[in-house]
Amino acid sequence: MGEDRATRAEEIETLRLGLDLGATLIDTAEMYGEGRAEQLIGQAVAGRRDEAFLVSKVYPHNASREGAVAACDRSLRRLRTDRIDLYLLHWRGSVPLSETMEVFITLQQVGKIRYYGVSNLDINDMQELWTVPGGSAVATNQLLYNLARRGIEWDLLPWLRERHVLVMAYSPIEQAELAFHRKLANFARKYGMTPAQAALAWLLANDDVIVIPKTSRRERLKENLGALDHRLTTTQLAELDRLFPPPTRTRPLEML
């Protein structure tokens, strides 16, 4: 969401290159830049809307009956589209989950959104969600998940898998910190990839995990997509388990 013209142009070209290379899912939120990210995406996908799968998120304080409809309409205008492919509750707030699910269902019925889901909901929240009308129809739970943040594997991830709810892993390279992690760099060098590619390939080894790395540069986008060329073996996955051990107890849900 660069303010200067050159940065903005690079961001738009990065999004368009992603579509060219088959990376069709674009994740955003009304919170990102207070709508500026959605505006930029709308410009980038202009004339190519049907090639993109657009994901956006509503603020918790906007997730009421009236608030979510208005927020969704604002996002639609900024994205220059008549529908959002996947609409998420950004995190748990004070609005009852039952009310949010009710308005999500209404938005779906009128065609403003195709699917709906949640983000940053822990297992207790998900269990409550399952008791309200429409809650069990969520398509995904977008969560902080990467090699350095494996806490969801203890209880939340198995719970979601039992119910066929996909995980969208945000910050998969830990805000670029894993790209400079010494042990991961040694692992990646041994197997002919970059540390970022190793971190992404570890997540991509799971068929029910969607990975959404953030980048605004075409060069970095190509590097990220290169992770698809590295299908990790069971030996490599075991090696990463030793370097980044899985949880041995329940932990509070981590968020960024």
Annotation marks residue 116 as catalytic: no
Residue bearing tokens 């190793």: 198
What are the residues whose beta carbons fall under 8 Å from the beta carbon of 179, sequence distance 6 or more? 173, 194, 195, 196, 199
Q: How far apart are CA 39 and CA 44, in angstroms?
A: 9
Burial of 2 (0-12, 13-18, 19+ CB in 10 A): middle
- CA of 199: how far to CAs of 74, 89, 108, 132, 219, in Å? 35, 26, 35, 36, 17
Instruction: Count Cβ neighbours within 10 Å for each residue of 123-154 and write b for 16 or more, e otherwise.
Output: bebbeebeeeebbeebbbbbbbbbbbbbbbee
- Termini Cα distance of the chain: 18
Q: Which residue in the list 32, 59, 115, 191 is annotated as catalytic?
A: 32
Q: Which residues pair with 88 in a beta bridge?
A: 57, 117
Q: Which helix (DSSP H) or strand (DSSP E) does residue 39 occupy?
A: helix 36-44
Its sign, for the CA torsion 34, 113, 14, 180, is positive
Q: Determine the 3-state secondary structure of 54 from DSSP.
A: strand
Q: Which residues are catalytic?
A: 32
